[in-house]
Amino acid sequence: MITRWLVRRLARTVDDRLRIAPVVRRALVKVFPDHWSFMLGELALYSFVVLVLTGVFLTLFFEPSTAETTYTGAYEALDGSRTSAAYASTVRLSFDVRAGLLMRQTHHWSALLFVAAIVLHLLRIFFTGAFRKPREINWLIGVTMLALALFNGFTGYSIPDDLLSGTGLRILYSVTQSVPLVGEWLVFLAFGGEFPAAETVPRMFVAHVLLVPAVLTALIAAHLGILVRQKHSQFPGPGRTENNVVGSRFWPGYTARTLALFAWVFAVTFALGGLVQINPVWIYGPFDPAQASSPAQPDWYVAWGDGALRLLPAADFRVFGHLVPSPFLPGAVLGGVAFAGLYLWPFLERWRGGDGLSHQLLDPPRRHPARLGFGVAVLAFFVVLLVAAADDIIAKVLRVPVLDVLSILRVLALVLPVPAGVVGYLLARALLRGGGRGIGDVTRRDVRSVRRLATVGSRGDVEEESSTEGGPSTEQPRSTGAATGPAAGDGGPRIELWRERDGTWRWRYRADEVTLTGNQGYLSRPEAERAADTAYGNLPMLEVEPPGGRAAVVAGAVERAGRAAGRVGGSLALLVLAYRRRRRDRRR
Amino acid sequence: MNRSQPEPRDGSAPTSPSRHDGDVGEVGKGPTSPRRAAASPPAETLRRERAASRVVAAAFAVSALGAAGFATVYATGGQTQLEGLSLAVAFAGIALGLGVWARRLLPGGGHVEEHEPFDSPPAEVRLTADELTGTESPLRRRGLVAALGLAVGALGAAALFPLRSLLPFDRERPVHALRTTPWAPGVRLVRADGTPVRPADVPAETVLTVFPEGHRDRGDVPAFAVRLDPARFTAPPPGGDLDGIVVYSLLCTHAGCPVALYLKGTARVLCPCHQSNFDLLAAARPIAGPAGRALPGLPITVDADGYLTATGDFTAPPGPGFWSLK
């Protein structure tokens, strides 16, 4: 039990100086919801950690300069060739720095994972309405982090100054240049001159390794700080109300789980980084404005932009004799509109019929058919754009002319969102009516009944719904509790209070289907009562005997180890005592 | 010790009414949850726990092996695949061990924390507002606040000026730089390796990338020369032709990628980035894809030494469009 002694000793030392025990205790017992979708944000967080760690390693070897140099090293195909320092150092750190390629590829893979996790997290937040009051600030921060992640991904794969990324950079330059009125100055200031300017790579490097990561770190801190302050939202369920959070306590269960996820992220990204080649710049060759690689696809998270550039037909137009070039609409406007929409969504939704109240219970996606339908439609649109970025590959694989692929995708981009959105909307309504748990439970009757699109109020025949839906079930404990009264010993929802042997007070919520224990011990009975009251309103409260036995099983293994250690320690102590007594005896 | 672990740990009170009444086994999420296990006989539970502990210990041992493997691979010269694999094993071992530990040996779920509503007491709100805007508050002197706003605003505007340094002052101004290239009368066309080009060197079956002599590295200069049959022209080339030799800017007018793919026979060039097609027989007009303007041509002649030479700049600014493009 040396660890226990050490931990207690350390905790005491820290507490003597910071008086932090109450804060730490509250942090340790913080309740995290158990639903898997709450891990998506953590997935993003942990891939960010991988990014920072591998990125620091790469920074030590990368040379952010387009000055011409000669590569000499282990990669024979380029040995002795004149390239930019950025490109040469990238090849060098891939082939001549031991473990460099592993770090570089892991960095790239975790960047892909990072953005993917952010997007999935955003979709979860969107479809469940978690962005509603009071979480608008965290939504805004999250959308900002998505934009920064896209930007940093782009700068990251552009700085090696290879042919593929140079082409991407050229496209970004053209898009920036296409902005009306200010585009020319904007692009010259940002890139440091006419493409390709020597200033560009060093600037992107500073943004990539310093500015954006610093801002991201600050925003992550704010994101998590607000999360802790506001506590988690949760899906509706038995015993869950607008005034509580049901799940696992941070210590110890959730700690182990989240650390496991942390390690999984490392395991998967390092496995990919070691085994699956990504962005082989030595094959693409150094950048040259007179050359392009074909086919050329960007990383997936900017591919929607590239797809849009491919899909939109020639759309140059003139305003007062000035030219607005075609990249402006798909390149600048689409991205601008997308992010403006994301930023504004919580406020748009509140304006169009939201209730403006604080929500701690999430909507199951079906609860808001219009939101679901709209989200699915937008998603379908962007998926088509993403696919369009690979139109040349599709054409090659299917052996059809690329322009035909382009035409089909154009039609799809315009048409597909409509049926996708309608299906999403109708499915949500059908689920809402049928009350099934998932899409598999939708019956034909549900779908048919949706077509009548009757008023939402006519749900009399669907009694089952109330058990799976948020609103009714959360109301249930309060109403039934009040009806049966404090005398209701069994069945009705109630709060049970008890005094532990050490004098602390604890409580738990009990109903037919669920027993939920309050997350912490309280020093006095009123404190415990207040917490239970906050969580469940006026439920009958009764004092009970402390429920025992639960910890016995959990502690069994620990206990055995402890007893063993105790025996060893005890015999050691006896030995020491005996030894000292003998010495004392001898001195006498 | 008792304070942190209040429940009696040996289950010494099996007759306590709350023990079976508690029936906390119903709380857990799944059959593997320890609290579910509490309902099963202790012997069975102990066996399961021991099995789980063994799995956890084994996973951590595998992890240590993976780490040792990584160190070995690294120390013996390094090999990317093995490095990645061993590190992945090291992390996966920890992940698996912690995961099983969390699922089998630690309590999960079944807790509830109160979530107090997010409105401060009205009195608190009023007092805070009073502190902010009360009699002593500087915000009451509106004139001074306005003056401060002016000062800060001016400072903010002044602070924007150094942004101009992002474009070095010795560079050309954007619009001029975008409009012009080093192509000028008398500038020879050279290949990528710097050798000048004779009319006979221009191929008919493919395109030859050319640059202005001495300006190989500029981004806006690349051009290509190709020999076509003048009889097939449906529109006169903007830069004219020299016995069928035409020279166009290599940069796509859409997003600036080099239109490096030549589809011989049809005399079209294709941009690999966004699939814009240009018809070289029709003055390089865009015929498909997102490009909206024709490729600018380069007027050429043959100089006294018999080499191809430009007689001026491109017939239009090369590459993607911009606001001031006429």
Distance (Å, rounded) from C-alpha A32 to C-alpha A22?
Answer: 19
Identify the band that residue B197 occupies on the pLDDT scale cut at 50, 70 and 90: very high
Average pLDDT over residues A570-576: 71
Closest to B179 measured CA to CA, from A315, A173, A196, A194: A194
For residue A420, the one-letter residue type is: A
A58-62, A227-231, A313-317, A514-518: range with lowest mean pLDDT: A313-317
**Average pLDDT in chain B:** 86
Residue A492 has a pLDDT of 83
Yes or no, beta carbons of B115 and A245 under 8 Å apart:
yes
List the single residue in B with minimal CA-CA distance to A296. Answer: B273
ipTM for the predicted complex? 0.86
**Tokens representing A116?**
């993917």
**Tokens representing A212?**
């954006």
Q: Return the residue matching tokens 């993976």.
A: B66
Candidates B87, B178, B211; nearest CB to A270 = B87
**Average pLDDT in chain A:** 87
pLDDT in tens, B2-44: 333 333 334 333 333 333 333 333 333 334 444 444 455 688 8
Candidates B50, B110, B326; nearest CB to A516 = B110
Candidates B88, B222, B288; nearest CB to A274 = B88
The answer on pLDDT for B140 being more than 90 is no
List the single residue in A with minimal CA-CA distance to B22. Answer: A547
Candidates B22, B27, B85; nearest CB to A274 = B85
pLDDT in tens, B76-125: 998 999 999 999 999 999 999 999 999 999 888 889 999 988 888 999 99
The answer on pLDDT for A487 being more than 60 is no
Cβ-based neighbours of A51, under 8 Å, separated by 6 or more = A107, A110, A111, A114
List the single residue in B with minimal CA-CA distance to A184. Answer: B174
Q: Please, are residues A278 and B141 in contact by the beta-carbon 8 Å criterion?
A: no
**Minimal Cα–Cα distance from A247 to chain B, Å?**
5
pTM for the complete prediction? 0.87
**Minimal Cα–Cα distance from A168 to chain B, Å?**
9
pLDDT in tens, A325-344: 999 999 999 999 999 999 99
Yes or no, beta carbons of A195 and B256 under 8 Å apart:
yes
Cβ-based neighbours of A312, under 8 Å, separated by 6 or more = A326, A329, A330, B290
pLDDT in tens, A105-120: 999 999 999 999 999 9
Q: Return the residue matching tokens 């999360």.
A: A227
**Minimal Cα–Cα distance from B216 to chain A, Å?**
10
The answer on pLDDT for A258 being more than 80 is yes
A464 vs A47, more confident: A47
Distance (Å, rounded) from C-alpha A298 to C-alpha A168?
Answer: 7
Distance (Å, rounded) from C-alpha B89 to C-alpha A376?
Answer: 38
List the single residue in B with minimal CA-CA distance to A298. Answer: B273
Average pLDDT over residues A550-557: 45
- CA dihedral A406→A412→A417→A418, nearest 10 degrees, is 150
Residue B205 has a pLDDT of 83
**Tokens representing A8?**
């207690």
List the single residue in A with minimal CA-CA distance to B53. Answer: A557
Q: Please, are residues A339 and B316 in contact by the beta-carbon 8 Å criterion?
A: no
Residue A452 has a pLDDT of 57
Could you give the percent of chain B with pLDDT greater than 90?
69
Average pLDDT over residues A403-415: 93
**Minimal Cα–Cα distance from A434 to chain B, Å?**
26
Residue B26 has a pLDDT of 37
Yes or no, beta carbons of B115 and A271 under 8 Å apart:
no
Candidates A246, A274, A520; nearest CB to B87 = A274
Distance (Å, rounded) from C-alpha A359 to C-alpha A134?
Answer: 7
Identify the band that residue A537 occupies on the pLDDT scale cut at 50, 70 and 90: confident
Average pLDDT over residues A553-567: 54
Distance (Å, rounded) from C-alpha A203 to C-alpha A225?
Answer: 31
| Chain A residues whose beta carbon lies within 8 Å of the beta carbon of residue B322 | 177-178, 183-184, 323, 325
Q: Return the residue matching tokens 């999984």.
A: A264
| Chain B residues whose beta carbon lies within 8 Å of the beta carbon of residue A29 | 111, 113
A546 upstream amide cis, omega within 30 of 0 = no
Angle ∠(A504,A507,A509) on CA atoms, nearest 5:
170
To probe the interface with B, which of A12, A138, A163, A174 has the most B CB atoms within 10 Å?
A174
Q: Report the run of H or E that residue B100 belongs to, with start and end.
A: helix B80-100
Candidates B5, B220, B325; nearest CB to A323 = B325
A488 vs A262, more confident: A262
Yes or no, beta carbons of B321 and A178 under 8 Å apart:
yes
Yes or no, beta carbons of B80 and A193 under 8 Å apart:
no
Break chain B down into helix, strand, coil percent, rounded to 5: 40, 15, 45
List the single residue in B with minimal CA-CA distance to A292. Answer: B258
First-residue to last-residue Cα distance in chain A: 36
Cβ-based neighbours of B101, under 8 Å, separated by 6 or more = A256, B52, B56
The answer on pLDDT for B164 being more than 50 is yes
